[in-house]
Amino acid sequence: MGAKPYRSIEGDAGTGLLILCDHAENTIPEPYGTLGLKPQDLHRHIAYDLGAAAVAERLAEALGAPAILSRFSRLLIDPNRGLDDPTLIMQISDGLVVPGNVGLGPEEIEARIEHYYRPYHQAIERQVEAVVALGKPPVIVSMHSFTQAWKGVPRPWAVGVLWDKDPRLALALLEALRTIPGIEVGDNVPYSGQLKGDTLYRHGTTRGLAHALVEIRQDLILAPEGQAEWGMRLAHVLRTVLSDASSALHAIELHGSLTDGVPGASAASGPARNGPPVMDERTKVELEAAAFRRLVGHLRARTDVQNIDLMELAGFCRNCLAAWYQEAAAAKGLSLSKEEAREIVYGLAYETWKAKHQTDASAKPRKRTG
């Protein structure tokens, strides 16, 4: 595909803000046509969040902050869903079957992830890390819009703030928005912000960055005047919130979810803690080494897994790992023989391992594909 699946608004990283818009456009790339829908269906909320991109732009402009906006319809693949979420690619949206999404094979799903979903999230990650590196962990604001009624029931809120476990930005935003006269403000309505794997879970919660999702009712931001009004409003609210609680908001704090379900990781959950803004080099190397030791331990335990099978499936085997180890040692000026390096990986002499664990089957010619 040609154009990037996202759009960046440069802005000043020094503002320590990042504005996102997951459902910015209803664009469906050329080869997909209309995904089998009537063209007018692509102008409904099922395809994108009407007005949200314009508000995100006005907000970014007013604050001088960078923004990243998607450039593909959520109907193609929804960037605001975890990869294991059944609604990642909607087959039925608001009661409407999406023919182009029905019965997709794993290759097609992977292609959409690779060409649209992943580059969008990688762009966000790059921006986040660039701002963290400046020493001011960014505050993330994600702009969405919602329909004024759902299944015939009107929604009274002009704006809703959605959040999960990190209250820092959400509670401050709610408080500030409630000072605006004449509007109803929703707290985790019309949707809940507690969707594991969504955009803010991925870039906010697990990264320890203060964040909130702001939903504006669609009818208020269909026209340029409403878009400008809400852009200015939110800019004002954010400026207030940031000037009141800047140091708390620009800190990396883990609020729970990161370690959900990870055994032995409970020390990092529970009350907020101040982690280092970036992982120091030594810790990083130690973690990498721990992962390597675990891989080696796993390969030693799984003597049933033959080197030839590893080679065929993954293009590497225990001997490659040993060779990489040997090369890394050589790069540090340490001379290590092939046999010595292999012994580090196998945990015993290679010849001994072969005699004990290498099966005859591995000598047989293998079925080739392709």
Distance CA 81, CA 195 (A): 8
Nearer to Zn ion, 23 or 155 (CB): 23
CB 76 within 8 A of CB 28: yes
Nearer to Zn ion, 16 or 49 (CB): 49
What are residue 47's phi and psi, to 5 degrees?
-95, -30
Nearer to Zn ion, 15 or 142 (CB): 142
Nearer to Zn ion, 7 or 144 (CB): 144
**What are 225's two structure tokens?**
């005047």
Secondary structure percentages of the chain, helix, strand, coil, to 5: 45, 10, 40
Write the single-letter amino acid at 336. Answer: L
The residue among 159, 165, 122 whose CA lies nearest residue 260 is 165
Q: How far is CA 149 from the centre of its chain?
A: 29
Q: How far is the CB of 85 from Zn ion (least distance, A)?
A: 14
Q: How far is the CB of 42 from Zn ion (least distance, A)?
A: 15
Nearer to Zn ion, 146 or 350 (CB): 146
In 10 A of CB 269, how many CB atoms? 16
Nearest 5 degrees, angle CA 35-CA 43-CA 76? 35
Nearer to Zn ion, 112 or 136 (CB): 112
Q: How far is the CB of 170 from Zn ion (least distance, A)?
A: 17
**119-156 burial, b for 16+ CB within 10 Å, e for fewer?**
bbbebbeebbeebbeeebbbbbbbbbbbbeeeeeeebe
Nearer to Zn ion, 227 or 326 (CB): 227
Q: How far is the CB of 22 from Zn ion (least distance, A)?
A: 6
Q: How far is the CB of 216 from Zn ion (least distance, A)?
A: 10
Distance CA 284, CA 346 (A): 25
Q: How far is the CB of 146 from Zn ion (least distance, A)?
A: 8
Q: Which residues bind Zn ion (CB under 5 A)?
A: 23, 49, 144
Shortest-Cβ-distance residue relative to Zn ion: 144
Residue keyed to tokens 């759009």: 7
Q: How far is the CB of 239 from Zn ion (least distance, A)?
A: 24
**What are 288's two structure tokens?**
């990498």
Distance CA 342, CA 320 (A): 9
Query: For residue 237, what is the DSSP state?
Result: H
Nearer to Zn ion, 6 or 325 (CB): 6
Q: How far is CA 247 from the centre of its chain?
A: 25
Q: How far is CA 326 from the centre of its chain?
A: 36
Q: How far is the CB of 49 from Zn ion (least distance, A)?
A: 4
Nearer to Zn ion, 47 or 185 (CB): 47
Q: How far is the CB of 2 from Zn ion (least distance, A)?
A: 25
Distance CA 194, CA 114 (A): 25
Write the single-letter amino acid at 102. Answer: V
